[in-house]
Amino acid sequence: MQSGELAIRVDNVTRTLWDASLGRPLQLEIDASAELIEVVAEDETGGFPLVSLLVPFDPGSGRQEPVDASFVLPGGRQRISLRVSPWRDPARAGRGAELELSYSAAGSTTDAAAAQ
């Protein structure tokens, strides 16, 4: 991944831009109806998804299910991790979730700490 901004899309709508190379995680709220999360890079030919995640939904509870997933990018030296955490507060239950994204590259201090 080149230094620069990645588009974070939820259900094909760009929610924010994220410069993963800065090493700071990104957190944002997603609606209870969210089905698809994408991390999209752009080059001279347009946008292409680096990561796509279908958000699991439990019809019995009417809530998104938690997700903790990591995606290794081509070349195997970079990883984007996503965590979807449904709200635990009963007042917000069923109203969405928190999405957290993080990035690490092989040899980075973040990657070394995760390996320990």
- pLDDT band (50, 70, 90) for residue 116: very low
* Domain range list for the chain: 6-115
Each residue of 5-26: pLDDT tens digit?
899 999 999 999 999 888 899 9
* pLDDT value of residue 107: 67
**Chain-centre distance of CA 88, in angstroms?**
19
Arithmetic mean of pLDDT, 99-104? 94
Give the integer Cα–Cα distance in Å for 74 and 88.
35
Phi and psi torsions of 114, nearest 5°: -70, -30
Any idea what DSSP says for residue 14?
A: E
Average pLDDT, the chain: 84
Question: Do 44 and 10 contact (CB within 8 A), yes or no?
Answer: no
**pLDDT at 65 > cutoff 50:** yes
- pLDDT band (50, 70, 90) for residue 1: very low
